[in-house]
Amino acid sequence: MFHQIVKAVPNLFTIGNFLCGVLSITFNMSGFIEVASILIFFSAVFDLLDGRVARTLKVNSEFGVVLDSLADIVSFGVAPALLFHTIAAPSILTSLAFIIFPTMGALRLARFSVKPTIGYFKGLPIPAAGLPLAGMGFFSYSNPWITLILAILMVSPIRVKKL
């Protein structure tokens, strides 16, 4: 029983990450762009903590890894793309960047799930792509080229050292 509760602790952080992503979208819908942006940063804090808590408590689980990907696609894929879409001037390039960004994020997450790398990441991790968009969003700045470059970096073969 006690072990079951301890096992659930990291997943509560992951759900925190997920819900901050969902709430970011609702605040964005209500026009609170800064709040929407800050919530994506909160997601990142939860995302950093869930893995560390799991390792500290020695309760890493496959369930936790899958849940983490599901949270990440919402918090660092869809929510930042929607923030970009709200701020950016409408154009074909904006629409393209808006569609490509979360799609590349999903492909990146699926690839990492199937072929996890140890000690380094292959391609920019999705939080590292979503956070710059959230930061730019906080200052009501958007740039479709930066969005596209971040999207492509996620599925690129570049190596990124793990934090």
Instruction: Determine contact, residues 143/89, Cβ cutoff 8 Å.
Output: no
Say which residues have a Cβ less than 8 Å from residue 22's Cβ, sequence separation at least 6.
Answer: 74, 79
**Of the two residues 27 and 131, which places its CB atom closer to a second copy in the complex?**
27
Subset of 100-119 contacting a second copy (CB under 8 A) = 102-103, 106-107, 109-111, 113-114
Q: Binding marks (x or -) toward a second copy, 14..53, rule CB under 8 A?
A: -x--xx--x--xx-xx------------------------
Q: Provide the greatest CA pair distance for the chain.
A: 55
Subset of 53-82 contacting a second copy (CB under 8 A) = 61-63, 66-67, 69-71, 73-74, 78, 81-82
Angle, CA 161 vertex, CA 155 and CA 162 arms, to 5°: 95
For the bound state, the minimum distance from the C-beta of residue 111 to a second copy, rounded and expressed in Å, comes to 7
| Residue 55 C-alpha from the chain's centroid | 20
Instruction: Determine contact, residues 67/19, Cβ cutoff 8 Å.
Output: no
The whole-angstrom separation of Cα 143 and Cα 85 is 10
**Of the two residues 21 and 44, which places its CB atom closer to a second copy in the complex?**
21
Tell me which residues touch a second copy (CB under 8 A): 15, 18-19, 22, 25-26, 28-29, 61-63, 66-67, 69-71, 73-74, 78, 81-82, 85-86, 98-99, 102-103, 106-107, 109-111, 113-114
